[in-house]
Amino acid sequence: MTHMKKNILVVDDSALMRRVMCDIINSDSKFQATDYCRDGLEAYEKLKHTSYDGVVLDVNMPRMDGLQLLEKLQKEGIRANVVMVSTLTDSREADVTILAMERGAIDFVAKPTNIIEAKGEAFKRQLLGVLDAVLATQKTAGGIRVAAKPAAKAPMMRKAAGGKNKLVALACSTGGPKALQSVIPFLPKELDAPVVLVQHMPPGFTKSMADRLDDLSKIRVKEAEHGERLQKGCVYIAPGGKHLKVTKTADGNNSIVLDDATPAIGGLKPCANLMYDSLTASSYDEIVCVVLTGMGADGTNGILSLGRSKPIRVIAQNEETCVVYGMPKAIYEAGVVDEVVPLDEVAQTITKNVGVK
């Protein structure tokens, strides 16, 4: 055998789900489901003494749930690459999942609602896809810190040149929910531009993520609504399951269009390329495009086509701070990136480019 299989620990209180997930993991030659546990307490005992390449962790379990386990691991400095498994239909579980990212989980997969779905191709693809992306980079979960308070040196505030009308358009995927907590809370309340944001995520989770970021931030953060006008100093997050586009209104302003009719593109809905494409017809003088951690290349084609019709400024997250260096790598290799910055400098780089009102 040329390579060692990566060892995965599966933690779930349902015997059926454990079985299904172990089978999926073992079906891929890169992985093996080495151990499984029924709850967080059992998992904690294992993780104290054994190190795994990855942990697949259920959110909701008796005795010790996923969030409590993560908090314990964090407190005791036990590092683990954790992927959460979380029920789509339960909004409380979506909230907990977002908190779990804050506590060190790298990403999550949506838990199947029934056995047919659990044994289906889509769940298998999703679980293996996330494990693949997260473990290929072999970053330990402790690598990205959620900043507790903004860096002491204030970002260079400059008034937007010549009173230009600007927009910030941000795209991220795998590792994004956690990365955004090091960006959005550090944007000033008076940012002189609206922010539109596509994070690849299923429905339900984007609302939890928007609410959590709003709690942590001075700038306003909300899940985008169809038809609302874009206002400076507000972050609009594309709802999972809908594409976000921007359209020019009759009076020369801009508003949001949520597009349900267009199918997922390459499995993605929302898709960042569609958002960037829509901006060609907007009334903004300049668009600051930001690409953060994520697998794949969504955003690159849209930014390239946008750049042919409007002035753009492109900021990409650097490789070292990405959970998955996919999307930022694609745009970097396309040759249009103006600034490559570590995660904790993204907010001040955005602010420097659009100014404060």
226 phi/psi in degrees, rounded to 5: -60, 130
Selected catalytic residue, list 53, 200, 208, 243: 200
Which one-letter DSSP state was computed for residue 274?
A: H
Instruction: Give the active site residue among 53, 95, 107, 298.
Output: 298
Tell me whether residue 252 is exposed, middle or buried, using C-beta atoms within 10 angstroms of its C-beta: 0 to 12, 13 to 18, 19 or more.
exposed
For the question of residue 173 being annotated catalytic, the response is: yes
Mapped to the 3 state alphabet, what secondary structure does 78-115 carry?
A: CCCCEEEEEECCCHHHHHHHHHHHHCCCCEEEEECCCH
Q: How far is 66 from 241, CA to CA, in rounded Å?
A: 26
Is residue 166 within 8 A of residue 288, CB to CB? The reply is: yes
Which one, of 296, 347, 287, lies nearest residue 317 by Cα?
Answer: 347
Give residues with Cβ within 8 angstroms of 147, minimum separation 6. Answer: 182, 185, 186, 344
Instruction: Give the whole-angstrom CA distance, residue 10 versus residue 19.
Output: 9
Q: Which two tokens stand for residue 354?
A: 């659009």
Residue with tokens 């002189």: 192
* C-alpha to C-alpha distance for 212 and 207, rounded to whole angstroms: 9
Tell me how far apart the alpha carbons of residues 318 and 75 are, in angstroms, rounded to a whole number: 28
Cα Dmax for the chain: 66
Angstrom distance (rounded) from CA 297 to CA 63: 41
Does 65 participate in catalysis according to the annotation?
no
The answer to whether residue 200 is catalytic is yes
Q: What gap in Å lies between CA 17 and CA 26, rounded to an integer?
A: 14
Catalytic residue among 173, 182, 217, 282: 173
CB 70 within 8 A of CB 100: yes
C-alpha distances out from residue 350 to 45, 166, 227, 267, Å: 43, 11, 26, 29
The set of catalytic residues is 173, 200, 298
